[in-house]
Amino acid sequence: MKSLFIAGNWKSNKTAHEAIEWVSLFHREFAGKQFPTGLTAVICAPFTALASLNDALKNTKLPLGLGAQDVSAYDDGAYTGEVSARQVGEFAQWVIIGHSERRHHQRETDDELAQKVGKAKAADLHVIYCVPDAQTVVPAGVDVVAYEPVWAIGTGKADTPDNANGVCGQIQASTHAPLVIYGGSVTDQNVVSFVSMPHIDGVLPGAASLDARTFFRLLMVAGQVIS
Ligand code: PGA
């Protein structure tokens, strides 16, 4: 049976307080419902919300993993403003590395990103590594590769499921990553068309993860594909 991996990327949204409200809402939606077997769901939140989210997820026992959206390329030490993998690992199990917004705004290079992957793995974090195409180098040790075409991110213009399936298939063939997922304008309306594809192991929704009800609905409809 196919398993599915879905990670919500909150980007630079939500205070710690708002994150807790999101968990309460999600918890209310979830009450009494059966979570799809074979579905791994993760929320990738800002650093500032990780500690309280970790507490809230433990208290509510929700079946959601927790991730950061970046990690330092350095260890603990004299790196002002950086958050090390060891610090992330105190609260989260996952980390997104190489998101196109960071490649663009922070000018992150492939070399720096490979260094970040090394630090994340040394701290036992699972890595979701974003690439804009099948040609971009994927460092060893990555757990999930997310194919995210830049033009589809936050535009409401998702890639076609056929094309995304083709690119994810190429990435599967050229890397050792256990899972390859698609991201870019995924919604609760179009998620099934992506996760039904043979080479797409899941999705990375940004905007559609911000509202707890929408994200819950997205998980449930996607889960029907594997149930
Ligand atoms: P989007 O973002 O779903 O809002 O397009 C996806 C992402 O950037 O990971």
Q: pLDDT tens, 180-211?
A: 999 999 999 999 999 999 999 999 999 999 99
Ligand 1 proximity of 67 Cβ (cutoff 6 Å): no
Quote the CA–CA distance of 93 and 53 in Å, as a whole number: 12
Q: What residues contact 131, with CB distance under 8 A and at least 6 apart?
A: 98, 138, 145, 146, 147, 148, 171
Q: pTM of the full predicted structure? A: 0.97
Quote the CA–CA distance of 170 and 17 in Å, as a whole number: 41
Q: Report the separation in Å between the CA atom of 78 and the middle of ligand 1, taken as the mean of its atom positions.
A: 33
Q: Report the separation in Å between the CA atom of 211 and the middle of ligand 1, taken as the mean of its atom positions.
A: 14
Instruction: Collapse the DSSP code of 89 into the 3-class scheme (helix H, G, I; strand E, B; otherwise coil) and give the result.
Output: helix
Per-residue pLDDT of the chain (227 residues; tens, 9 = 90+): 689 999 999 999 999 999 999 999 999 999 989 999 999 999 999 999 999 999 999 999 999 999 999 999 999 999 999 999 999 999 999 999 999 999 999 999 999 999 999 999 999 999 999 999 999 999 999 999 999 999 999 999 999 999 999 999 999 999 999 999 999 999 999 999 999 999 999 999 999 999 999 999 999 999 999 98
Identity at 104, one-letter amino acid code:
H
Quote the CA–CA distance of 206 and 32 in Å, as a whole number: 26
Spatial contact of 183 and 9, defined as CB atoms under 8 Å apart = yes
Quote the CA–CA distance of 163 and 98 in Å, as a whole number: 21
By C-alpha distance, which of 196, 146, 141, 143 is closest to 171?
A: 146
**Model confidence pLDDT, tens digit, residues 20-50:** 999 999 999 999 899 999 999 999 999 999 9
Quote the CA–CA distance of 32 and 180 in Å, as a whole number: 31
Alpha-helical segments (H) within the chain: 16-30, 47-60, 85-89, 100-105, 110-122, 161-174, 191-195, 212-224
Ligand 1: which residue has its CA nearest to atom 9?
206
Quote the CA–CA distance of 100 and 219 in Å, as a whole number: 24
